[in-house]
Amino acid sequence: MAAETGTPTTLTLKSNDDELFSVAESAAILSVTIRNMVEDGCAGGVIPLDNVDGKTLASVITYMNGISAIPADEEKKKSYRDKFLSDKDFETLADMVLAANYLNMSCLMDAVSAKIAQVMEKKSVGWVRRKFGIENDYTPEEEAAVKEEHKWTFEGVETDDDN
Amino acid sequence: MIKLGLKSRSRRVVQESFMDVEKSKICLGKSKNKNRREEIGENRSDSCWESLPTELLREILMKVEESESNWPARKHVVACAGVCKSWREVMKEVVERPEVSGKITFPAAVKQPGPRESLMQCFIKRNRTTHTYYLYVSLSQALADDGKFLLAARKCWRTTCTDYMISIRADDMSKGTDTYVGKLRSNFVGTKFVVYDGVPPHSAAKMAKSWSTRMVGSKQISPKLLTGNYAVAHISYELNVLGARGPRRMHCIMNAIPSSAIKPGGTAPTSLDYSPTNPFFRTKSDKSLAIHLNSQQEDSLILRNKSPRWHEQLQCWCLNFHGRVTAASVKNFQLVASSENGAPGPEHDKVILQFGKVGKDVFTMDYRFPLSAFQAFAICLSSFDTKIACE
């Protein structure tokens, strides 16, 4: 990381609903998008983040500060991430994954994706379709095949061993 | 880094304005944010999920694949493929074939060659009263405790032969349904067997072509045309020179697998489908494999059983199953590639399929590339049926 030592530099980030946030440069450059801007020298004034709303950005900044305060200890960082995401609802996770992608923060991206995967696993296909706004585009024949595949996947048999 | 940055910005464009990525890259080339600012922010959808870019979706689905590496949790991977066509495409892309991953995920994998580097450990349970056989892939080191159901077979007596109907359903083994995958047919005396696949193994390329056509147009090809029975293996049992006093000899001609498959870097055709009526389950990534076809001129792979050694102390015929077989049985066997046309190499020593008894009605079945679970299961069923036994 190219963080300056000495006086800590502060960056000002602006969300797409015009909220302003101050954040230490050393924490903000966890975002590759922001780091590139800093390196290109275009982070002097306010950095507009057009794809992130204030609520999400506040949350991301909490994460940036939290994770950058932890020294290089993967275990601790992981448990921080788990704790950070534990109280986020599914809609918030969507905002987070889009923000993490836009800001190019791979560690957050990975953690959020894993969390989403974890939530989805407990849900039905119908729930996933509704949440993701996905239309079931299978033809009736394909739908039957999906059901068959599903049966194979979820059902086994126990043979009778009493003979 | 720059590349990553660009990529993330182009993703954003996909989400926001649904422009195609290429176009967005061109306009992104010029300035970082200036041009973009006006078109962003207004048309944000209420649910972020609905407009999630494919690349992000892919990352999430990859997490599902990564985190659920073993059955039964692996069912979630299959469940994701059931959501819609595009999710299926992603899932089929991130899930590796058993040949590479050593894992079975989708039912189609039962017709794909097993792992190259190791034996896929399975077990078969027999139900004597219903004449049914169930194949499971082992989930632990236990011989036959914990398994994921793969295939079932039921014995059916015909006037001149016996059929073992093989199905992906434990409770439906009739032909003509979506669940039928193939059968093993025995001659009347139970010395010769033919394995029939419901899907033609050699038409993989043709089928893949129809698939890609289907990808472009929305019309689906008629799958019914492909239904049938295709002989993929011929198995015969012979008496040893010692007659009924010695172990029997097995000879399997794998018509669908070229003999070159067992050479280093050799390939075996990958069935794209488990069922003749479900071309829909084809794996997109299998398209590239479809070119490796066994041309008619090429020799078929021939398997023979490893000759057991006579053990003086135990006074019996012995094979080393490395702990995978615990009970002596005439049915136990180990198959290796036969070196009929040339000198035997190290590849002819490698056990490709081994089968043996571990309990009253429980048998282990371990197979590897180039056999598929379906082919291995069918060969093992023949061992149950054959009338040639030794004393």
* Domain ranges for chain A: 10-122, 124-155
Q: Phi first, then psi: give them for residue B385, nearest 5 degrees.
A: -90, -30
Q: Which pLDDT tens digits describe chain B residue by residue (391 residues)? A: 333 333 333 333 333 333 333 333 322 323 333 333 333 333 334 456 666 788 888 888 888 888 888 888 888 888 889 898 888 988 988 898 898 888 999 988 999 999 998 999 999 999 999 999 999 999 887 776 778 999 999 999 888 889 999 998 887 666 666 688 899 999 888 889 999 988 776 544 333 333 333 333 333 333 444 457 888 999 998 876 665 556 678 999 998 888 888 888 888 877 666 654 444 444 443 333 333 334 444 688 999 988 877 777 777 777 888 888 878 777 888 999 987 666 777 778 889 999 988 988 999 999 999 999 999 999 999 988 766 554 3
Give the number of other CB atoms < 10 A from CB of residue B193. Answer: 26
Quick one: pLDDT at residue B292?
Answer: 37
Asked whether B99 and B109 are in contact (CB, 8 A), the reply is no
CATH architecture of the domain with residue range A10-122:
2-Layer Sandwich (3.30)
- Least CB-CB distance to B63: which of A114, A125, A150? A114
Instruction: Sort out which chain A residues have CB atoms less than 8 A from B62's CB and list them.
Output: 113
Question: Cα(B20)–Cα(B33) distance, rounded to whole angstroms?
Answer: 18
Name the minimum distance, in Å, from the CA of A146 to any CA of chain B: 6
Which residue type is seen at B354?
Q
Whether residue B5 and residue A98 make contact (CB cut-off 8 A), yes or no, is no
Q: Using N-to-C axis directions, what is the helix angle for A90-103 and A54-68, rounded to 10°?
A: 70
User: A142: which chain B residues are within 8 Å (Cβ-Cβ)?
Assistant: 280
* Residues B364/B355, Cβ–Cβ less than 8 Å: yes
C-alpha A82: how far from chain center: 12
CATH number 3.20.90.10 given to B110-385: yes
From the candidates A16, A36, A49, A50, which should be mutated to test the interface with B, based on the most B CB atoms within 10 A? A50
Give the closest-approach CA distance of B338 to chain A in angstroms.
Answer: 35
Half-sphere exposure of B219 (CA within 13 A, CB side): 4
DSSP class of residue B287 equals G
Q: Supply A133's token pair.
A: 């706004």
B33-54 burial code (b ≥16 CB/10 A, e <16): eeebeeebeeeeeeebbebbbe
Name the residue ranges covered by the structural domains of chain B: 1-42, 110-385
pLDDT at B234: 93
Element (H, E) at B126: strand B120-127
* Other beta carbons within 10 Å of B124: 27
